[in-house]
């Protein structure tokens, strides 16, 4: 990604693995941030090598992990309600970045035909034991074959953004629905924590989106943004991690109030910590 015409925004540290620093540059046309430098595909894997990368494990070792999985159970019900509200008839669903397969398990049990893509062998192994089927990558899949495609906090991890968006367009049926959830760097908690905001998560987050960015990126592929929905739990989760990065420990009380404040302010400007985007073919 050429950043020569992008504006410097912030220098952020990889708090969880390498402790290296990376710069964020602002693409003013799209209103999105770009991580620089971006690790090569050969080196990318080492930045995921953390026992604390919670979406790749079903561990419940600590109070934090137990709370995470409790909230995840509520979030899964909300996700199921969302996908069922978007498609009248249950059909084929593809979840890119399926992790340990919990979302696809819920969808499968509800009557959806499911397939996942997950680069982590560890997470994929857990999901396979739950009965989830996988393909290696999207290029192995037929065009216009899915009624629904989901990416829950995954698009920010994709090295080749333009190719990924084109593939999503290719794979989706003309009447299909695309659902994408990503962090929102314009939220109150992002501004409050700044360089310590956990959802920057450099360098494994290549891109940092705004509502304008999502709308414009998919508009190029003739896809329409139908609605934007909040992920209200994310402000608390992200604030907890941000407290740890900033102060060396999780301050549950302070994080709760920052999360609460973020959601309250977002009631006025819709800039929640994370946002769900529902997109359709034009």
List all residues 6 or more positions away from 70 whose beta carbon is below 8 Å from its beta carbon.
none
Structure tokens that stand for 59 in this block: 């561990």
User: CB of 81 within 8 A of CB of 100?
Assistant: no
Cα–Cα distance, 122 to 74 (Å, whole number) = 24
What local confidence, expressed as pLDDT, does residue 54 receive? 47
3-state secondary structure string across 116-143: EECCCHHHHHHHHCCCCCECCCHHHCCC
Task: State the pLDDT at residue 69.
Answer: 67
**What tens-digit pLDDT sequence spans the chain (282 residues)?**
788 899 999 999 999 999 999 999 999 999 999 999 999 999 998 998 876 554 555 555 666 666 666 777 889 999 999 999 998 889 999 999 999 999 999 999 999 999 999 998 989 999 999 999 999 999 989 999 999 999 999 999 999 999 999 999 999 999 999 999 999 999 999 999 999 999 999 999 999 999 999 999 999 999 999 999 999 999 999 999 999 999 999 899 999 999 999 999 999 999 999 999 999 998
Asked if 113 and 91 touch (Cβ cutoff 8 Å), the reply is: yes
DSSP code, position 47: G
Whether the predicted model's global pTM rises above the 0.85 cut:
yes
Q: How far is 173 from 80, CA to CA, in rounded Å?
A: 20
How high is the pLDDT of residue 73?
81
Q: Are residues 2 and 20 in contact, defined by beta-carbon separation less than 8 angstroms?
A: no
Q: What single DSSP character describes residue 278?
A: E
Residues 6+ apart with CB under 8 A from 122: 56, 57
DSSP state of 110: T
């Amino acid at each position: 990604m050429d950043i020569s015409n992008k504006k410097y925004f912030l220098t952020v540290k990889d708090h969880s693995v390498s402790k290296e620093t990376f710069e964020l540059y602002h693409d003013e046309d799209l209103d999105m941030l770009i991580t620089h430098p971006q690790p090569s595909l050969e080196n990318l894997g080492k930045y995921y090598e953390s026992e604390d990368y919670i979406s790749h494990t079903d561990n419940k070792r600590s109070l934090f992990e137990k709370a995470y999985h409790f909230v995840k159970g509520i979030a899964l019900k909300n996700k199921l309600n969302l996908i069922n509200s978007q498609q009248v008839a249950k059909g084929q669903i593809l979840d890119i970045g399926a992790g340990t397969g919990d979302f696809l398990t819920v969808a499968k049990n509800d009557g959806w035909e499911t397939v996942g893509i997950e680069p982590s062998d560890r997470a994929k192994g857990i999901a396979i034991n739950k009965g989830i089927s996988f393909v290696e990558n999207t290029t192995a899949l037929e065009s216009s074959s899915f009624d629904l495609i989901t990416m829950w906090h995954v698009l920010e991890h994709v090295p080749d953004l333009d190719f990924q968006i084109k593939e999503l367009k290719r794979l989706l049926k003309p009447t299909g629905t695309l659902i994408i959830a990503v962090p929102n760097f314009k939220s109150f908690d992002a501004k409050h924590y700044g360089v310590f905001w956990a959802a920057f998560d450099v360098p494994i987050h290549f891109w940092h989106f705004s509502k304008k960015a999502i709308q414009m990126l998919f508009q190029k592929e003739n896809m329409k943004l139908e609605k934007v929905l909040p992920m209200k739990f994310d402000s608390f989760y992200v604030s907890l991690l941000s407290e740890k990065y900033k102060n060396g420990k999780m301050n549950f009380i302070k994080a709760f109030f920052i999360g609460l404040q973020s959601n309250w302010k977002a009631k006025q400007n819709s800039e929640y910590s994370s946002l769900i985007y529902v997109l359709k073919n034009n």
